């Protein structure tokens, strides 16, 4: 192959790799040829030469990704057909052949979901005739072979039903493999996030049962029965799947409309980008350090502040349950017993005799079931419950905020530890370099060598002073390393023994900021969401305070037995009951109720002001981090050049001094500057890494959007309990 052909092939693969990554991450419509050529490092003419158009490039990308999957599917199906011969293939084996290659690609991929599933999802999200025809052409042979095998395996099922059931099977596969963590959410943590193998096993079991189900006749109005319409290919018509929001009836509506802070159309200090809605910890992966990722994971798992935040969530859950209990009737059981003596004074009853007082002893026993209920006619109790649910949600978001913040602190402390270790190593190396210079001077001084009539005495003293200063700096750096190590252990919930961080290294820089980041933070950062929830709670409490001015309506009832003989309490002959209703209208309470309304109004104003201030702070944090990014990049570049120059200056000054053409003061100055510049470069590299962490925290997570593990969580509606 000639050099020109090799270069053309390399250019084509470079374009395909870049387009595949961009299409899978951002979709087909939002990725332009200009962006592909810019990130691939080629010109537009190269794309036109190799592919002709964007549509042809899309087809090439889909073919490259999907064709190997389909070939593997057909290979597996052929092996199964040979194994069963003339007998029908069990539907489980057919599904295994259909889904196994996708699971294999996920296991071989370093990402959460495979490129195949990402591109399939993009095709479904952007349905056009071109995409459908492309997909049909890629899947035509595979669909025909698999549907033939399914028909032989399930002869009792109508063909149209088979298409529908396989359609649902593939849709279930895509959802299950890309949202495996949802089972952990739905089970409230009782089931851990499964691996792809477990998902595949349960998916085959589930879909095989559905495919085997009895035959169902489609209605006459079904599109599959309309004349002139062919059954749509399985892949080209998959339905979208959505999560239902939890506890929607309990959680108050978004209250951010009370605030007047508006989101800018783009970040002034950086490019615009699209928002994601949930915080995440995938930003740790951008530093490509397994030891850092393991440490952050350990900190999030064992940190004591997070344990306290979890306890506050439990307190808020209990408060929500307590407030909500007032909506239900309060039922209690009562048992009473009484014995009394009654005197009859002044009654001329015969037999009293001797002027004594006639008396009588009475026993009274009672057993009853009592009920009281305040009817929430005006919605006062419901508003109080909504406010408590909003407080619960705020505490959950506070926990997420603390988790994100502590993860950021852990990463920054790790970087500080790594820098301190590298500063120690640099200082030790510098001491050796200074000592070599000092030995050279001392040798010449002892030998009586002079330069321009001087005997190097003062220069020798300066060299010794440089060594001592370097030793002082070494002890300072060792102290910083010890202190930072203890900080790492405290963050991880361990005793501060000063042993942590032995594997700490300054990681490589994550790279440039993508050009398409979100322009709004209100649905991304958990601290802003928590503030909005408190704003919603304050809004509901105003409603509660105003409804307290209206009459309250209550019902009370009691049913039981009463007798002077305890053995008769279970005899229905002695039953008693009562029922009563009451309506109470506050008339005069010294202005307490209206003052409560004023207080709730002021609390809402406070919540609005805090939300607005927090939003402005969040915007400022993003702007500062974006602006600092460029400054730190420039500083690192300048210091790298400075280090290179001082290293060259030191080497040359040593050579010139050894040859007798240089000045020893130049050597001393060069070695000091070399150490200073190298030390400053380490410090600025660490500051640049910490600034990137600040940017991740300001945005609520990494640059790429990740699906929410759950919708807003609230305490589920509870039945009345004690």
- Going from N- to C-terminal start, the domains of the chain cover 53-217+231-237
Determine the distance from the C-alpha atom of residue 594 to the mean position of all C-alpha atoms in its chain, rounded to a whole number: 43
Average pLDDT of the segment spanning 387-414: 86
Q: What is the pLDDT of residue 348?
A: 57
Answer yes or no: are the C-beta atoms of 247 and 389 closer than 8 Å: yes
Does the pLDDT of residue 610 top 80, yes or no? yes
Answer yes or no: are the C-beta atoms of 520 and 698 closer than 8 Å: no
Euclidean distance between CA atoms 171 and 91, whole angstroms: 17
Euclidean distance between CA atoms 105 and 119, whole angstroms: 13
Q: Which residue has the higher pLDDT, 444 or 391?
A: 391
Q: Which residue has the higher pLDDT, 509 or 8?
A: 509
53-217+231-237 is a CATH 1.10.357.10 domain: yes
Q: Flag whether the pTM goes above 0.75.
A: no
Euclidean distance between CA atoms 133 and 147, whole angstroms: 19
Predicted confidence band at 641 (pLDDT cuts at 50, 70, 90)? very high
442-458 tens-digit pLDDT: 776 666 655 554 556 77
Q: Say which residue the tokens 């909003």 belong to.
A: 390
25-56 tens-digit pLDDT: 777 777 777 778 778 877 766 777 677 777 77
End-to-end CA distance of the chain: 83
In terms of Cα–Cα distance, which of 427, 700, 373 is closest to 558? 373
674-687 tens-digit pLDDT: 888 989 999 999 99
Highest mean pLDDT range out of 107-121, 229-243, 464-478, 662-676?
Answer: 464-478
Tokens of 358: 């006639």
Tokens of 225: 């029965």
Average pLDDT of the segment spanning 251-259: 64
Tokens of 541: 């409490």
In terms of Cα–Cα distance, which of 488, 505, 506 is closest to 497? 488
Q: What is the pLDDT of residue 687?
A: 92
Q: What is the mean pLDDT of the chain?
A: 75
Does the pLDDT of residue 722 top 80, yes or no? no
Q: Which residue has the higher pLDDT, 238 or 294?
A: 294
Tokens of 90: 């069990």
Q: What is the pLDDT of residue 111?
A: 44
Q: Which of 71-80, 124-133, 430-439 has the lowest mean pLDDT?
A: 124-133
Does the pLDDT of residue 224 top 50, yes or no? no
Q: What is the pLDDT of residue 344?
A: 67
Q: What is the pLDDT of residue 269?
A: 45
Euclidean distance between CA atoms 677 and 568, whole angstroms: 98
Does the pLDDT of residue 125 top 60, yes or no? no
In terms of Cα–Cα distance, which of 575, 578, 558, 562 is closest to 330? 558
Does the pLDDT of residue 465 top 80, yes or no? yes
Q: What is the pLDDT of residue 681?
A: 92
């Amino acid at each position: 192959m000639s050099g020109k052909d090799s270069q053309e092939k390399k250019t084509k693969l470079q374009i395909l790799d870049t387009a595949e990554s961009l299409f899978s991450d951002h979709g087909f419509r939002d990725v332009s040829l200009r962006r592909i050529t810019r990130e691939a490092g080629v010109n537009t003419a190269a794309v036109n030469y190799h592919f002709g158009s964007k549509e042809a490039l899309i087809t090439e990308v889909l073919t490259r990704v999907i064709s190997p999957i389909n070939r593997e599917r057909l290979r597996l199906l052929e092996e199964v057909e040979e194994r069963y011969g003339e007998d029908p293939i069990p539907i489980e084996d057919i599904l295994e052949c259909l889904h196994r290659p996708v699971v294999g690609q996920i296991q071989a991929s370093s990402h959460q979901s495979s490129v195949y599933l990402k591109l399939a999802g993009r095709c479904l999200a952007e349905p056009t005739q071109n995409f459908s025809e492309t997909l049909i052409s890629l899947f035509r042979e595979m669909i025909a072979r698999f549907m033939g095998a399914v028909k032989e395996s399930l002869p009792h099922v109508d063909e149209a039903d088979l298409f529908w059931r396989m359609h649902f099977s593939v849709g279930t596969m895509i959802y299950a493999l890309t949202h495996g963590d949802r089972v952990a959410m739905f089970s409230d943590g009782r089931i851990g996030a499964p691996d792809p193998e477990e998902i595949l096993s349960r998916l085959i079991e589930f879909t095989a049962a559905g495919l085997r189900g009895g035959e169902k006749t489609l209605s006459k109005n079904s599109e599959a029965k309309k004349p002139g319409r062919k059954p749509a290919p399985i892949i080209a018509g998959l339905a979208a799947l959505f999560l239902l929001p939890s506890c929607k009836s309990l959680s108050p509506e978004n209250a951010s409309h009370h605030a007047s802070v508006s989101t800018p159309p783009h970040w002034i200090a950086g490019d615009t980008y699209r928002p994601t809605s949930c915080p995440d910890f995938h930003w740790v992966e951008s530093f490509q350090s397994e030891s850092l990722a393991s440490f952050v994971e350990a900190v999030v798992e064992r940190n004591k502040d997070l344990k306290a935040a979890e306890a506050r969530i439990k307190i808020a859950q209990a408060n929500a349950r307590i407030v909500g209990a007032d909506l239900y009737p309060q039922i209690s059981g009562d048992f009473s017993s009484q014995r009394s003596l009654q005197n009859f004074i002044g009654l001329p009853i015969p037999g009293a005799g001797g002027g004594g007082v006639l008396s009588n002893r009475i026993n009274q026993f009672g057993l009853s079931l009592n009920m009281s209920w305040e009817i929430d006619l005006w919605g006062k109790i419901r508003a109080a419950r909504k406010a408590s649910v909003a407080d619960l949600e705020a505490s959950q978001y506070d926990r997420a905020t603390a988790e994100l913040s502590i993860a950021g602190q852990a990463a920054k402390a790790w970087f500080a530890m790594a820098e301190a270790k590298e500063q120690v190593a640099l200082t030790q190396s510098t001491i050796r370099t200074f000592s070599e210079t000092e030995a050279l001077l001392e040798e010449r001084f002892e030998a009586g060598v002079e330069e321009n009539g001087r005997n190097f005495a003062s220069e020798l003293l300066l060299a010794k002073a440089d060594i001592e200063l370097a030793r002082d700096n070494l002890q300072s750096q060792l102290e910083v390393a010890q202190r930072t190590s203890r900080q790492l252990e405290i963050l991880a919930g361990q005793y501060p023994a000063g042993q942590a961080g032995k594997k700490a290294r300054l990681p490589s820089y994550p790279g440039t900021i993508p050009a398409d980041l979100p322009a709004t933070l209100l649905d991304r950062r958990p601290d802003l969401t928590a503030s909005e929830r408190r704003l919603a709670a304050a809004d509901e409490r105003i409603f509660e305070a105003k409804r307290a001015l209206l009459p309250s309506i209550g019902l009370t009832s009691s049913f039981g037995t009463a007798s002077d003989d305890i053995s008769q309490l279970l005899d229905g002959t002695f039953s008693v009951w009562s029922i009563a209703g009451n309506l109470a209208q506050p008339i005069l309470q010294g202005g307490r109720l209206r003052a409560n309304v004023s207080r709730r109004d002021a609390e809402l104003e406070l919540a609005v002001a805090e939300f607005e201030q927090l939003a402005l702070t969040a915007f400022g944090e993003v702007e500062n981090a974006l602006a600092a990014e460029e400054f730190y990049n420039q500083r690192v570049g300048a210091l790298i050049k400075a280090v290179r120059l001082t290293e060259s200056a030191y080497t040359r000054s040593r050579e010139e001094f050894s040859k007798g053409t240089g000045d020893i003061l130049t050597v001393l100055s060069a070695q000091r500057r070399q150490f200073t510049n190298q030390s400053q470069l380490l410090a600025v590299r660490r500051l640049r890494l910490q600034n990137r962490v600040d940017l991740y925290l300001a945005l609520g997570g990494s640059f790429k959007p990740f699906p929410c593990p759950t919708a807003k969580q609230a305490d589920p509606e509870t039945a009345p309990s004690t």
